[in-house]
Amino acid sequence: MSAAALVALVAVITVGSRAVSVALLPAPRGALAGVVDRLPAPLFAVLAIATLLGSDAAPGAGVWLAAGAALATVRRRSLLLTVAAGLAGAVVGAVVEAVASGAWSRLRRCPDCRLVFWDRTRNASKIWCGMYAGADGRACGSIAKVRRYRARRARTTL
């Protein structure tokens, strides 16, 4: 099956299940009305658990932090507050994960021009913002090396 056909099929299943459910389900009566009336909160609580634990990979510390922050606000019963707290938790969690994995130290500041940059080198050894002048900035690395070389030569040849 081609990818386009599969996408079309997934769309048909999704949209079709929505249309059929909303169009054909009758308004609940009797005992069923009570069940439907009590269903929403348990339904969403279960979906929260399913999205937390349902994937193959265990969620990282950041996700737990986000869920914890969201959970701390539920007594206020405000979706805005819960989403804001959860996303703030996720941002803090992402920083915590970056620090823990050592990735944080790749955020550097050029000793020459003070530009903050992200060290993408394989062995995390970038010092200056750049070596060559161009559209991206100045040649801080080359300038520093030339300066050091001239200082050394001035000492040795005098």
**Window 73 to 132, contacts with another protein (CB under 8 A):** 73-80, 82-84, 86-87, 89-91, 93-94, 97
Taking the least distance from each CB to another protein, the nearer of 38 and 150 is 38
Taking the least distance from each CB to another protein, the nearer of 45 and 133 is 45
Site string for another protein, 37-76 (x = CB under 8 A): xxxxxxxxxxxxxxxxxx----xx-xx--xx--xx-xxxx
Nearest to 66 by CA among 79, 80, 45, 85: 85
CB of 136 to another protein, least distance (A): 17
Site string for another protein, 1-20 (x = CB under 8 A): x-xx-xxxxxx-xxxxxxx-
CB of 139 to another protein, least distance (A): 26
Ramachandran bin of 12, using left for φ above 0, alpha for ψ from -120 to 50, beta for the remaining angles: alpha
- Token pair for 130: 């750049």
Contacts of 107 (CB under 8 A, 6+ apart): 116, 118, 119
What is the bridge-based pairing of β-strands 107-109 and 116-118? Answer: antiparallel
